[in-house]
């Protein structure tokens, strides 16, 4: 597939140069987008979301992101008026307006507020969609990706699936936020959260893989079904690396040969320290590098790509 690549592309309207937003049917420059302070999306974290990336002028796995977003919305009874086809066209138009060829594209469905004169119940609202496109975001800087991420096992336990299904991408991030502060205080970059039984779950914005003796494993529960996680699982199959989806204990994590994080914001990237223990001579490990290189090489070649319709401005 030929990619629609245009590194010199700029927003046709300069007001969109910093990014573009969509709010409940209307497009606007990013800086003009506002949500009402009475919205339960803000007051109750009553919102689900998704984030897809654009690289070299093409969306990555847009169908998978739209399917996951729809599942998150339906499971939480947050259903906006737009169909999936309308959301797809809206996202193309957002990128076209921004002129970005590498972008972080977020879409949220918010509860809204109870309509005037109705009881304060979520059924009395009209959920609505907002979205925005900004320059591509990485969870950690390119320098940290190069040297390897320093991670800790956080003391905060991940909110259990029994309370909130992690497969529905949500804003309940108190555990993740406390983990980020703890990592910072301990001189690390990122926390990994365990569940109440002491098994690995995920971290703020990423899924986790451990590698032992050439065998890859990633947790099977209390995690978001990451699109990059799915991609890494597919890449393992292509590269002939056995990959298991199963419970992963904290002990396995701490004794891993290699640890890999996966996220839309940065792709697969390696961990070189866990609770201060150094892995792979303090450099991202060989299998991590193979997976990371394969991911970017295949994306560049148009794998799972949907070229942006820049004509939609």
Determine the size of the site formed for ligand PLP (CB under 6 A): 13
- Pairing mode, strands 190-194 and 277-278: unpaired
Q: How far is the CB of 179 from ligand PLP (least distance, A)?
A: 11
Q: How far is the CB of 231 from ligand PLP (least distance, A)?
A: 8
**DSSP label at residue 46:** -
With contact defined as beta carbons under 8 Å apart, do 235 and 295 qualify?
yes
Q: Of 17-56, which residues contact ligand PLP (CB under 6 A)? A: 51
Q: Which one of residues 41, 99, 219, 226 is an interface residue with ligand PLP (CB under 6 A)?
A: 226
With contact defined as beta carbons under 8 Å apart, do 156 and 50 qualify?
no
Q: Which one of residues 92, 229, 273, 292 is an interface residue with ligand PLP (CB under 6 A)?
A: 229
Q: Which one of residues 216, 224, 271, 294 is an interface residue with ligand PLP (CB under 6 A)?
A: 224
CB-based burial label for 80 (10 Å; 0-12, 13-18, 19+): buried
The label of the residue with tokens 């597939």 reads 1
C-alpha span between 15 and 311 (Å, rounded): 18
Q: Which one of residues 125, 199, 207, 222 is an interface residue with ligand PLP (CB under 6 A)?
A: 207
- Judged by CB under 6 A, which stretch of 71-79, 95-103, 250-258, 261-269 contacts ligand PLP? 261-269
Site string for ligand PLP, 293-312 (x = CB under 6 A): --------------------
**DSSP label at residue 200:** B
With contact defined as beta carbons under 8 Å apart, do 271 and 149 qualify?
yes
Q: How crowded is the C-beta side of 297, counted as CA atoms within 13 Å?
A: 7
Q: How far is the CB of 303 from ligand PLP (least distance, A)?
A: 15
With contact defined as beta carbons under 8 Å apart, do 219 and 198 qualify?
no
Q: Of 96-155, which residues contact ligand PLP (CB under 6 A)? A: none
C-alpha span between 297 and 160 (Å, rounded): 36
Q: Which one of residues 206, 269, 295, 310 is an interface residue with ligand PLP (CB under 6 A)?
A: 206
- Judged by CB under 6 A, which stretch of 146-154, 178-186, 192-200, 221-229 contacts ligand PLP? 221-229
Q: Which parts of this chain interact with ligand PLP (CB under 6 A)?
A: 51, 202, 205-207, 224, 226-229, 262-264
């Amino acid at each position: 597939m030929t990619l629609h690549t245009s590194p010199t592309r700029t927003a046709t309207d300069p007001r969109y140069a910093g990014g573009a937003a969509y709010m409940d049917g209307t497009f606007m420059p990013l800086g003009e987008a506002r949500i009402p302070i009475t919205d339960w999306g803000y007051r109750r974290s009553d919102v689900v979301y998704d984030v897809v990336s654009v690289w070299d002028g093409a969306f990555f796995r847009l169908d998978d992101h739209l399917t996951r977003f729809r599942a998150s919305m339906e499971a939480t009874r947050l259903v906006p008026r737009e169909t999936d086809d309308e959301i797809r066209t809206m996202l193309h138009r957002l990128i076209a307006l921004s002129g970005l060829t590498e972008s972080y594209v977020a879409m949220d469905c918010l509860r809204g507020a109870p309509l005037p004169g109705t009881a304060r119940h979520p059924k009395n609202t009209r959920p609505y969609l907002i979205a925005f496109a900004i320059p591509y975001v990485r969870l950690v800087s390119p320098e940290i990706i190069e040297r390897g991420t320093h991670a800790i096992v956080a003391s905060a336990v991940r909110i259990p699936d029994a309370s909130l299904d992690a497969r529905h991408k949500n804003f309940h991030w108190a555990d993740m936020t406390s983990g980020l502060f703890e990592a910072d205080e301990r001189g690390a970059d990122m926390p990994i959260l365990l569940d109440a039984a002491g098994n690995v779950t995920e971290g703020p914005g990423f899924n986790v893989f451990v590698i032992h003796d050439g065998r890859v494993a990633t947790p099977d529960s209390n995690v978001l079904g990451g699109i990059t996680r799915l991609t890494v699982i597919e890449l393992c199959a292509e590269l002939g690396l056995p990959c298991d989806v199963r419970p992963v204990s904290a002990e396995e994590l701490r004794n891993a040969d290699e640890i890999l994080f996966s996220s839309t914001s940065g792709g697969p990237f390696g961990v070189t320290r866990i609770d201060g223990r150094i892995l792979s001579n303090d450099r991202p490990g060989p299998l991590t590098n193979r997976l990371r290189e394969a991911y970017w090489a295949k994306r560049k070649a148009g794998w799972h790509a949907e070229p942006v319709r820049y004509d939609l401005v």
